[in-house]
Amino acid sequence: MLNRFDIDDTLRALAEPTRRAIVDRLARGPASVSDLAAPFDMSLAAVVQHLQVLEECGIVASEKVGRVRTCRLEPGGLKRLGDWVAERRLLAERRLDRLGELLAGALPEEQRRPAAKDARPKRKKTSTQSKKEK
């Protein structure tokens, strides 16, 4: 229920320099829409649109009082992204750890193939292996 925000929206929101600059500004404290718009060389309407995007994915919250809308960072927004990143890093790192143990453990110095699913006959062709990347 509380997770009506998904990571896709979050990442798309932050994949934009202007919106990231807004986040940077808001990390230092709340601000009005006009304050947020001031540094940018674009229309106020454009900044409002950016704010809508940030709000729809839960990174920013705002509240209107009188004619002024005050925006602030919503802590949960960045947390969700941080968690997403941490998850993947952990997964990949643990995999590497296991691989390391495997390598340290029981391997002769024989040339090792990357965890082949099926054993393929190593027809070693000693000739030039052109590794042109790119």
The option from DNA, its own copies, none interacting with 33 (CB < 5 to 8 A, set by class) reads DNA
Pull the structure tokens for residue 52. 């809508």
Among 88, 109, 114, 129, binds DNA (CB under 7 A): 129
Report helix, strand or coil for 105. helix
Report helix, strand or coil for 106. coil
| CA atoms within 13 Å, Cβ hemisphere of 50 | 22
Give the per-residue contact string, 19-38, with DNA (x = CB under 7 A; - = no).
-------------xxxx-x-
How many residues bind DNA, per CB under 7 A? Answer: 35
How far is it, in rounded angstroms, from Cα 129 to Cα 134? 15
Q: Which residues bind its own copies (CB under 8 A)?
A: 7-8, 11-12, 14-15, 17, 20, 23-24, 26-32, 34-35, 41-44, 63-66, 70, 73, 75, 78-79, 81-82, 85-86, 88-89, 91-93, 95-96, 114-115, 118-121, 124, 129-134
Kindly state the helix (H) or strand (E) to which residue 102 belongs, with its residue range: helix 75-105
Give the per-residue contact string, 40-59, with DNA (x = CB under 7 A; - = no).
-xxxxxx-xxxx-x------
Phi-psi region of 57 (alpha: psi -120 to 50; beta: other; left: phi over 0): alpha
